[in-house]
Amino acid sequence: MATIYVDVLVNVAKAIAENNLSKYVFMVDSTGYSGDGSEGSNELKTKCENGDTIVWSAVSINPGEEIAILGFGGQAIPNMVNPQQYPQYDGTVWGGRVNQAGTNVQYNIYMLLEGNVHMSFDPFITATNPQASR
C-alpha cells in the first residue's frame, strides 16, 4: 500500500476578494499521473488503490495568509475514504485510508480562510482494487 500526497495550494486573498475558492485552488498529487488535464486545477482526479492512504495538506501561496481544512464531505466520504485531522498541524494536514474502489468519485473539501471565511470545492478520487500477485 502506498501513501499519496495531495497538496492544496490556495491564493487566499484572491479567493476571499472574489468569493470564489474554486478559481484560486491549485492541486497536485504525488502519483506522477498526468494527461487527464486535471493537474494543477481544483478538479484534481487523484488515482490510487484501495488500501492506500491519502494525505491532504493546505498551503496559502501568499505568506502570512491563514488557511485550514475544516473537513470533507460528498460521495467519497465516509465510505470510500474517511479523512481525519492530523492535530499537530493545526488543520492544515488531514489523512485517511482508502477503503473502497470507485471511479471519478467526487468529494468536497471544506476550508477556513483567514480564520473566518468558509468555502469549499470538489475534486475527485479514482481507486482501483490492487491486482493479486501471481
Percentage of the chain beyond pLDDT 70 is 94
Whether residue 59 has pLDDT greater than 50: yes
Q: What are phi and psi for residue 28, nearest 5 degrees?
A: -140, 155
- The DSSP bridge partners found for residue 47 are 126
* Residue the block writes with cell 467526487: 106
Quick one: pLDDT at residue 32? 80
Enumerate domains of the chain plus CATH numbers: 3-127 (2.60.40.420)
Q: What is the mean pLDDT of residues 67-81?
A: 97
Q: What is the pLDDT of residues 38-52, one digit of tens each?
A: 777 788 999 999 999
Quick one: pLDDT at residue 133? 53
pLDDT classification of 134: cutoffs 50, 70, 90: very low
